[in-house]
Amino acid sequence: MAEVAEPCFECGAPAMHDHHVVPRSLGGTKTVPLCEDCHSLVHGRSLHTASLTKAALQAKRARGERAGGVPFGFSADAAGRLTPNVAEQEVIAVVRQRRASGVPFRAIEAELARAGLASRTGRPFGITQVFRMAKAAA
């Protein structure tokens, strides 16, 4: 059993169990501290990993933290908090303005290339990136 003072790996409540991440039967040696509720979720039949993962990612996004890759238009600090990237936000604004004016995606792609605007990798924007910038939630 874990020391009561140690926080649960999932929720921060006092941990009561050391849970093997990889089962001992499969050679696992590392453990994480879990409280009674979280430990029963791991072993209970009511555990739905997909829904728990979805809820955890939504909670991170609600706190302004990164969940997965850093979306174009933002930068992430060391804590994973997203902040607007001014240069990338300007590119997004140009794409949305041009699209609102009825300019086709391929024409916007060509305009960005002529203007020397490039993706984070330094390569010209592709049609998919232009489409996503135009359609992404503001």
pTM above 0.85, yes or no: no
Specify the residue for token string 């926080």: 7
Q: Domain ranges in the chain?
A: 1-47, 85-135
What are the φ and ψ backbone dihedral angles of 79, each rounded to 5 degrees? -85, -5
- More confident of the two residues 102 and 138: 102
- Residue 48, token pair as written in the block: 């739905």
CA distance 29 to 19: 10
Q: Maximum Cα–Cα distance for the chain, whole Å?
A: 64
Q: Are 33 and 12 in contact (CB under 8 A)?
A: no
Which amino acid would we find at residue 125? F
Q: Are 22 and 32 in contact (CB under 8 A)?
A: no
User: What's the pLDDT band for 60 if we cut at 50, 70, 90?
Assistant: confident
Specify the residue for token string 């996503």: 132
pLDDT score, position 118: 92
Mean pLDDT is highest, among 52-61, 74-83, 124-133, for 124-133
Q: What percent of the chain has pLDDT over 70?
A: 91
pLDDT score, position 103: 96
SS3 113: helix
Residues of 69-108 as b/e, b for ≥16 C-beta within 10 angstroms? eeebbeeeeeeeebeebeebeebbebbbebbeeeeebeeb
